Amino acid sequence: MQTSLILTTFNWKEALELSVRSIFKQTHLPTEIIIADDGSNGDTGRLIQELQKKSPVTIVHSYQNNKGFRLSRSRNKALSIAKGDYIILIDGDIVVEKHFIEDHVQAARENYFIQGSRALLNASATRKALTTMELCPCLTEPGVENRKNCIRSNLLSRLFSFSSTRLSGIKTCNFAFWRKHAEEVNGFNEDFVGWGREDSEFTARLLNLGIKRQNLKFKAVAYHLFHPLNSRQHLEENDSILANTTDNRLNWCENGLSLHKRNINSA
């Protein structure tokens, strides 16, 4: 099974570097890393060029022009060039434990997508990690919230992982799915502009298609670096798009992945 790890970023090259370095240390490497860049400045591009030279796998820089927060479009561009049968999504402020890819690959099941968990780092722990370019938190480490999510355990994972049909708790900063299922729902909905709900709406269409949700606990451990909250300026409009999908049980969006099949290099 070929895996494409898609990592989103925008103008935070320090976090991006720490995130990619954690991928280099994986016990099971992805087939490729695609950095979905939502219009970062030149510093990010130069960093990616340096990371490409050091990487044990191919790194692809999927770039779009900066026209505001367009996460759905950025992910669709990356999906359109992905070679993997299986897609793992993280954000550029996520640092992963060394078994992260291995755990996701082992958890992959036909007709399921995976929702993973994350431990949250506070501002102090984040500054330390970015200064040292190292992150090895444990249960007793200061500055870690949701610290139970630092635990990796085969036994606990078997006991506490579960299936669900609910949208609550969806976070695509630690998320995996089969590429063919993304194509069947036409990827992420590019009607979403600004922060919020694009991940839930994508998930709702997968569920409406009949794809099941698996919550993976105590495996695929991820650490979320602290950052200020994004603007909620467009949240009301985005809530309306999500409500339309859930109320009408839609499993397809018009303004989605298929746009990039025709022109993946468009700005």
For the stretch 25-82, pLDDT in tens is: 999 999 999 999 999 999 999 999 999 999 999 999 999 999 989 999 999 999 999 9
pLDDT value at residue 207: 98
Q: CA distances (Å), 121 to each of 10, 13, 91, 145, in order?
A: 19, 18, 14, 6
Which of 63, 59, 41, 39 is closest to 49 using CA atoms? Answer: 59
In a domain, 261, yes or no: no
Q: Specify the CATH number for the domain of residue 114.
A: 3.90.550.10
CB atoms within 10 A of CB 235: 14
In a domain, 133, yes or no: yes
Name the more confident of 64 and 135.
64
CA gap 37, 8 in Å, rounded: 6
Would you state the structure tokens that stand for residue 229, as one six-digit string? 């909250």
For 216-240, how does the pLDDT look when each residue is reduced to its tens digit (9 = 90+)?
999 999 999 998 877 677 789 999 9
In a domain, 21, yes or no: yes
Helix (H, G, I), strand (E, B) or coil at 113: strand
Total tally of structural domains belonging to the chain: 1
Quick one: residue 187, left, alpha or beta (phi over 0 = left, psi -120 to 50 = alpha)? left
In a domain, 263, yes or no: no
Question: Mean of the pLDDT values across residues 78-92?
Answer: 97
Which of 56, 102, 86 is closest to 221 using CA atoms? Answer: 102
For 65-75, how does the pLDDT look when each residue is reduced to its tens digit (9 = 90+)?
999 899 999 99
Give the range of the structural domain holding residue 216, as residue numbers without chain letter.
3-255
In a domain, 216, yes or no: yes
DSSP code at position 171: -
Would you state the structure tokens that stand for residue 259, as one six-digit string? 């746009």
pLDDT value at residue 37: 98
Phi, psi angles (nearest 5°) of residue 263: -155, 80
Question: Mean of the pLDDT values across residues 201-230?
Answer: 95
In a domain, 77, yes or no: yes
Band of the pLDDT at 163, cuts 50, 70, 90? very high
CA gap 152, 215 in Å, rounded: 14
Residue 200's contacts (CB-CB under 8 Å, 6 or more residues apart) are: 167, 170, 242
Phi, psi angles (nearest 5°) of residue 161: -70, 145
pLDDT value at residue 142: 85
